[in-house]
Amino acid sequence: MTEEQQYNLGAAFNLMKAALQLLLLPIMGLQPKYTKENFESLMNSNYRYPSFFNNRETVFIALCNLLDGVDLNDAERKVFTNSLRSNKTFLDSLKTKKECIDEDLIKMVPLALEYRDCQIKNK
């Protein structure tokens, strides 16, 4: 193989590698950042409210992913809670009832995300 052919082969390889990255990075960004393993780690850490999460695990994990990186004040939290409770599509997608979503559950989200971030830093 000549030097020019090797150069063209290398260029084609680099082009394919870059195209693959362009395809994968947006897809990887859609992956959940808070997983069931994060939730289980939180529950196994002598957490004070395990019974609070009965029948709410899926909803809580979805809220953690939805609110990751979002800070809500009290007024925003109340509006957000009412919005989720009235959003039938959201409730149906999580197979839950509006009674499962309340402000107390949403107040727990930043604590869970902070715990996850501490776990990541300590690894």
Mean pLDDT of 9-21: 83
Nearest to 106 by CA among 122, 90, 89, 82: 82
Task: List all residues 6 or more positions away from 80 whose beta carbon is below 8 Å from its beta carbon.
Answer: 72, 106
Mean pLDDT of the chain: 85
Quote the tokens at residue 91.
């409730």
Predicted model pTM: 0.73
Examine the pLDDT at 86 and tell me if it is beyond 90: yes
For residue 48, what pLDDT is reported?
A: 66
Domain boundaries, the chain: 1-31, 33-122
Q: What is the pLDDT of residues 34-62, one digit of tens each?
A: 999 999 888 888 666 667 777 888 999 99
Q: What is the pLDDT of residues 89-117, one digit of tens each?
A: 999 998 999 888 999 899 989 989 999 88
